[in-house]
Amino acid sequence: MARFEIPDGWTAQAYTFALDPTPTQIRAFRSHAGGARKAHNTMLAAVKAVMNQRQAERTYGLDEDELTPALGWSLAGLRKQWNARKHEVAPWWAENSKEAYNSGLDALARGLDAWSTSRKGMRAGKTIGFPRFKTVRSRRSVRFTTGTIGVETDRHHVTLPRLGRIHTCESTRKLARRIEAGTARILSATLSEDSAGRWHVAFQVLVHRAVAVPGHVGEGESVVGVDVGVKADSLIVVATPDGRELDRVPAPKSLTAAQARLRALQRRVARQHGPYDVATETKQKPSKRWITQQRRIGRTHAHAAAVRRDVVHNATTELAQRHRVIAVETLNASGMRSAGGARKRGLNLALSDAALVQVRRMLGYKTTWYGSVLMEAGRYFPSSKLCSGCGRRKPNLALADRMYVCDHCGVTIDRDRNAAINLARLGETHRTGATGTGTGSSPAATDSGGDGRGATRESATTPVVNAAGEEASTRHQQLLGESGTVSSEGEAA
């Protein structure tokens, strides 16, 4: 299947709305999510059974052409096998939309493809494990790609296949106006439940929008550098190449502020949950009060995430609208939290609470909307270790050193401001072409500035792939071919 290409002048954008469903609709939501989980687990069990059977037959000395036929791992192959089994394993399948089962099968197909390509060395990043069975406590989510999908003219209802009209907690006028004007087209809708038990619908929309800055936004500096950190007073530090600090956004620290409440709720949950029954080897069924406490914990986490997301959204929108070139770091946030044990517990919490990667991710698409350019420094560009005064590199800069003191020229400056200035100068030289740092093969609104002067690789190099990705339901079909089957080498690689 060919990859979906976005037409020129259009962009893919998501519109998310909180829902206000009735109890009957909530039961229908959970039924659809349960159908997706059932299809996923059923076909995963079938795939594992065939793989184990083929592996056992190889030990008997059978040739490859004599083995049990392999199941197709493409979405089309899994759907064909599911349709042959659904009458037996799920006699209630007709109660839900076919898109519910397609969602579970698509997730399984992508998981199997990721595991196979990872074992063959064709996938960058960490090793991907074999797909696991989904439990009842797994995140509930269903994706609709066909059927009646849209927003109602009253601006307070959306329509989904088999679920009908659903009331929203907020107005849908922003999306409705674009659809009525012919500048937007809905591609799919994803229904999901968050940790607080609230249901949301996210529309993936193809939008025709002019690349322009709103008229009420004043123009700022043409080139700025943005440094992100975990300190309470410096989540985002913005500086110019000439050394002026333009803005300093404090970190909300919403998760840190909620720790006292979370500790109290989790201790209460531990007392309410029954003990493990050794005789029956089962956990005691949770009580209603235990379930209520779990919902309170989920709402606390959801509130902390919402506060953090609001701060980052406001800051990145202002940056993308006011400045033409924005230089940022390329951080390996997951690697920063991967090791250290108990001694790094506080730092890992601060890194998670800061959501450092969200700044670069949001700037990535907002710069496209407003016509600015996002310049990403190389992974090993030493923005914090370079002196903004003389350009010398200080290799022994500890994380606890909040002030940068140059051993060569004696300049003393705030660590985060120094890093932002270095990033701004890298963005300025890259824009004018004064230095050969190189560019990557990223989208037009994003450039890669290389590692720059004084860069060192203090850890193993990880191959980098284009983050643009593929159409969600076609990547595994492209790798496996039209037949949708996997060879024996793909199973045992």
More confident residue, 318 or 271: 318
pLDDT interval class at 76 (50, 70, 90): very high
Residue 343, pLDDT score: 63
Q: Where does residue 454 fall: left (phi above 0), alpha (psi -120 to 50 degrees), or beta otherwise?
A: left
Residue whose tokens read 């190099």: 461
Distances in whole angstroms, Cα of residue 31 to Cα of each of 35, 36, 43, 82, 95: 6, 9, 18, 18, 8
Check if 329 is active-site: yes
Q: Assess whether pLDDT exceeds 70 at residue 487.
A: no
Over residues 2-28, mean pLDDT = 89
Q: Assess whether pLDDT exceeds 60 at residue 477.
A: no
Residue 446, pLDDT score: 58
CA–CA separation, 441 vs 50, rounded Å? Answer: 41
Catalytic one of 113, 193, 329, 451: 329
Catalytic one of 193, 353, 416, 451: 416
**Per-residue pLDDT tens for 431-461?**
665 443 333 333 334 566 655 544 444 443 3
**Per-residue pLDDT tens for 282-334?**
667 777 888 888 899 999 999 999 999 999 999 999 999 999 999 998 877 77
CA–CA separation, 144 vs 99, rounded Å? Answer: 6
Q: Assess whether pLDDT exceeds 50 at residue 26.
A: yes
Task: Express as a percent the part of the chain with pLDDT over 90.
Answer: 43
pLDDT interval class at 490 (50, 70, 90): very low
Q: Are 239 and 421 in contact (CB under 8 A)?
A: yes
> What HEC string does the chain produce?
CCCCCCCCCEEEEEEEEEECCCHHHHHHHHHHHHHHHHHHHHHHHHHHHHHHHHHHHHHCCCCHHHCCCCCCCCHHHHHHHHHHHHHHHCCCHHHCCHHHHHHHHHHHHHHHHHHHHHHCCCCCCCCCCCCCCCCCCCCCEEEECCCCCEECCCCCEEEECCCEEEEECCCCHHHHHHHHHCCEEEEEEEEEECCCCCEEEEEEEEEECCCCCCCCCCCCCCEEEEEECCCCCCCEEEECCCCCEEEEECCCCHHHHCHHHHHHHHHHHHHHCCCEECCCCEECCCCHHHHHHHHHHHHHHHHHHHHHHHHHHHHHHHHHHHCCEEEECCCCHHHHCCCCHHHHHHHHHHHHHHCHHHHHHHHHHHHHHHCCEEEECCCCCCCCCECCCCCCECCCCCCCCCEEECCCCCCEEEHHHHHHHHHHHHHHHHHHCCCCCCCCCCCCCEEECCCCCCCCCCCCCCCCCCCCCCCCCCHHHHHHCCCCCCCHHHHHC
Q: Assess whether pLDDT exceeds 50 at residue 225.
A: yes
Q: Assess whether pLDDT exceeds 60 at residue 252.
A: yes
Check if 416 is active-site: yes
Over residues 370-378, mean pLDDT = 88
The DSSP bridge pattern shows strands 245-249 and 236-239 to be antiparallel
Lowest mean pLDDT among 228-232, 237-241, 272-276, 443-447: 443-447
Residue 3, pLDDT score: 67
Residue 403 class from Cβ within 10 Å (0-12 exposed, 13-18 middle, 19+ buried)?
Answer: exposed
Domain boundaries, the chain: 21-136+470-493, 223-253+291-448
Lowest mean pLDDT among 48-52, 169-173, 378-382: 378-382
Residue whose tokens read 């080897």: 281
Residue 191, pLDDT score: 96
Q: Assess whether pLDDT exceeds 60 at residue 388.
A: yes
**Per-residue pLDDT tens for 173-191?**
999 999 999 999 999 999 9
More confident residue, 456 or 400: 400
Mean residue pLDDT across the chain: 82
Check if 227 is active-site: yes
Lowest mean pLDDT among 113-122, 131-140, 215-224: 215-224
Residue 321, pLDDT score: 92
- Distance from first CA to last CA of the chain, Å, rounded? 25
Task: Express as a percent the part of the chain with pLDDT over 70.
Answer: 82
